[in-house]
Amino acid sequence: MKKLLISLFAAAITTAVIAQPQVKMNEKEHDYGTFREEAGVQRYDFDVINSGNEPLVIQNIVASCGCTTPEWTKQPIAPGDKGRITALYDPANRPGKFQKSLTVYTNAKPQVHVLVIKGEVIQRERTIEELFTFPVGPVRFESINLAFTNIRKTEKKIRVMQIVNTSSAPVKVEFDQLPPHLSLKVNPETLKPNQKGIVEGTYDATKNNGWGTVTDLVKVKINGVVQENSYYYVSANLVEDFSSMTRDQLENAPVFNIASTNFDIGKMPGSTTKEVEFKFTNSGKNDLYIRHVKSTCGCTAVEQGLVGMPVKPGQSNSIKAVFSSGGYKGSVTKAIYVYTNDPKKSEVVLMLTANVDAPPATK
């Protein structure tokens, strides 16, 4: 009798231990093959079978990309029954091959299972509106911004952009009031109906006294008429030219050695001002020049007295700025850009932070 009770007890324990759900999938990967982008969202159902002896619960599914949306059976799946996991893949604006994963979390062991979907999207033909995003009257430009990116202060650079005449009549395109450092022309100057052309821009950095990121707003002339409400942006990042420096010159160059690039004002009332100071030393072997200093906001006035003045080797100085808290409230961060003739630190970003209290209420 005692042996029988022990056997029954052991069998009960064994049954309790092995009583659990089990995940069984006939496949864990699906290839959608090749399909066109305009075919829209692709759908595939993965079957999930509970081969265990307790209810199976799909607790959550996490997709590796926002382009993939999972759906699944939310109610518990009884032993021997089948549930479903649906993978929805959106190909919009995602041409080319893809491979994404769905991480499935369940109450079974192992808890985590990974499903993979893959395929290749053939890009649909883009519309004129999608290819040429900036409309000006009867013409459309590829973009509102002609970007020259980095330009050395000693060079000229050329950039081009496509333009199209979407009207049924010829259109002559010109640009109005260009600055001395910028040349813009359309080739051909007069576009026939539905004809594409090229905007060719030439940027002469030697004629621009600015430093760092600079932008020009240019008005467009259509058939001799200035389009008053449309501006074409031309941007460039003007940088020092160190390309001709020898190894000896680089070794003996000035060094912009700044104590800290961050200044924390701490708490300050609204509608007040605070002067900040960034101290630096020329640790190099030649004169250091501050080429330009600018802030990202009109709320920060930067002293320009150092610009163009030599800082001798071993000498120290400071960059001063005045921050106006104005109508700000809470944590505020502003940047000051410093341009120097230090080959290793030609552009330095100084960060200014403050915690602004609301200005006192007026009585």
Q: What is the DSSP code string of 234-283?
A: EEEEEE---TT--HHHHHT---EEES-SEEEEEEEETT-EEEEEEEEEE-
- pLDDT band at residue 176 using 50, 70 and 90 as cut-offs: very high
Q: How many residues are listed for the chain in this entry?
A: 363
pLDDT at 52 over 50: yes
pLDDT at 16 over 70: no
- pLDDT band at residue 17 using 50, 70 and 90 as cut-offs: low
What are the tens digits of pLDDT across the range 307-319? 999 999 999 999 9
Burial of 107 (0-12, 13-18, 19+ CB in 10 A): middle
pLDDT at 361 over 90: no
Q: Supply the mean pLDDT for the chain.
A: 91
pLDDT greater at residue 19 or residue 28 = 28
Could you tell me the domains of the chain? 21-122 (2.60.40.10), 128-239 (2.60.40.10), 247-357 (2.60.40.10)
For range 92-113, the mean pLDDT: 94
Percent of the chain with pLDDT over 70: 94
**What is the C-alpha to C-alpha distance for residues 167 and 190, in angstroms, rounded to an integer?**
12
What are the tens digits of pLDDT across the range 155-165? 999 999 999 99
- Indicate if the alpha-carbon torsion angle 87, 90, 96, 102 is positive or negative: negative
pLDDT at 246 over 70: yes
- State residue 298's pLDDT score: 87
Q: Which of 239, 305, 318, 312 is nearest to 277 (CA)?
A: 318
- State residue 13's pLDDT score: 46
Burial of 50 (0-12, 13-18, 19+ CB in 10 A): buried
For range 198-202, the mean pLDDT: 97
For 16-138, list the strands marked E by DSSP: 23-24, 29-36, 42-50, 58-63, 68-72, 82-89, 96-106, 112-122, 134-136
- State residue 12's pLDDT score: 47
Percent of the chain with pLDDT over 90: 85
- pLDDT band at residue 14 using 50, 70 and 90 as cut-offs: very low
For range 78-99, the mean pLDDT: 95
Classify strands 156-165 and 29-36 as parallel, antiparallel or unpaired.
unpaired
- Asked if 162 and 142 touch (Cβ cutoff 8 Å), the reply is yes
pLDDT at 128 over 90: yes
**What is the C-alpha to C-alpha distance for residues 25 and 108, in angstroms, rounded to an integer?**
13
- pLDDT band at residue 43 using 50, 70 and 90 as cut-offs: very high
3 state SS of 9: helix
Cis peptide bond upstream of 180, omega within 30: no
Q: Which residues are within 8 A (CB) of 66 and not within 5 positions of it... i.e. 6 or more apart?
A: none
pLDDT greater at residue 304 or residue 84 = 84
**What is the C-alpha to C-alpha distance for residues 237 and 241, in angstroms, rounded to an integer?**
12
In the block, tokens 């912009």 appear at 256
- State residue 305's pLDDT score: 87
Strand-pairing partners, residue 29, are 116
- State residue 359's pLDDT score: 58
